[in-house]
Chains A and B, each alone.
Chain A
Amino acid sequence: MRPSPRLLLSATQQLSGRGFQGPLKVGGYVNGLVIRDNAKRLKVAEAEDRRRALKYITYNTELPLKARLMAQLELTNMHLHTRPTAVRNRCTSAGRSRGVFREFRLCRFQFRQQALAGDIPGVRKASW
């Protein structure tokens, strides 16, 4: 069940074209960090049920202590890319990690440019 440790390697290979791993899955602006983040997201979605079940066992004080400890250990031993906190919202058209509006999935500068160009429906510059 543990994700492959070669995850990162395959992501960088995809970007550089060495060792073809199938078509690139991410569209929009693509760089290594975006691919890495996307790979993390896929792993998180894959391991979500398992993580949730293990978390439930550890949190349940009704269950025997040993089972809870085992579940906790299992949780900590899972690959770090299955952690939902490891994913980071990145700008879909610039790849920036900071100043990203969640609603538009764009960083502040891209948002401004696209909004001024009229590419974002329902958004226009305020003036009063």
Chain B
Amino acid sequence: MARASEKLAASTKPTSSPIQPHRELTTMLGPPARSRLLELAKTSCAVFSTTFNPTCKRTGNKILRQRLNGASIADYYLPRSRIITIPDMRRRWNQYVQTKEAKALGIDPEEYEFVDEDEMRRLEAVEYKKSRGKGAPKKKKEKVVERGKKRK
């Protein structure tokens, strides 16, 4: 078959343009032999350093190719030690100010105290409300008498 097609190709070779579309060439010459194609695949694998697997066997390589993501999975939540908030710093500083070390350095705890301004403001507001008689009600000392059963 191949030889016949080659002859046909030789006899009907057009001379007008040297470049022909690829599809026409293959139809004229017939498809390349399977062994040749295999060889091509093999050399291409050698060149591009990929695995030569003509029978498409399942070797599980795709499992090995996947990235290991355990570290990123484990690192989702913030560790407790990494979060230092302003209240933490305030607490630590106010503790430090009270120490003998700080006194030795001449740090006056009254003067250098880290004040929580929001809390100050809140307490002031509470005082102001109390002075106007609008404070929180006092807690009842008597035990509240329980009502009867709500529902049956």
Contact = CB atoms under 8 A, between A and B. Distances in A.
Contacts of A44: 70, 73-74
B70 A48 contact: yes
A38 B63 contact: no
Nearest to B78: A27
A43 B83 CA distance: 23
Interface string A75-88: 00000000010010
Contact of A42 (B66, B74, B80): B74
The contact size tier of chain B is 20 to 34
A60 interface: yes
Contacts of A121: none
A39 to B, nearest CB: 10
A60 B76 contact: no
Interface in A60-75: 60-62
Interface string A42-63: 1011101100100111111110
B57 A28 contact: no
B60 interface: yes
A26 interface: yes
A57 B73 contact: no
B63 A27 contact: no
13 contacts: A23-B80, A26-B79, A28-B78, A28-B83, A38-B76, A41-B74, A45-B71, A45-B73, A48-B68, A49-B70, A59-B63, A61-B59, A92-B76
Given A23-B80, A28-B77, A42-B74, 14 more contacts: A26-B80, A37-B77, A38-B77, A41-B77, A44-B74, A49-B70, A52-B64, A56-B60, A57-B60, A59-B59, A59-B62, A60-B60, A61-B58, A92-B77
Interface of B: 57-60, 62-64, 66, 68-71, 73-74, 76-83
Interface of A: 23-28, 34, 37-38, 41-42, 44-46, 48-49, 52, 55-62, 84, 87, 89-90, 92, 105
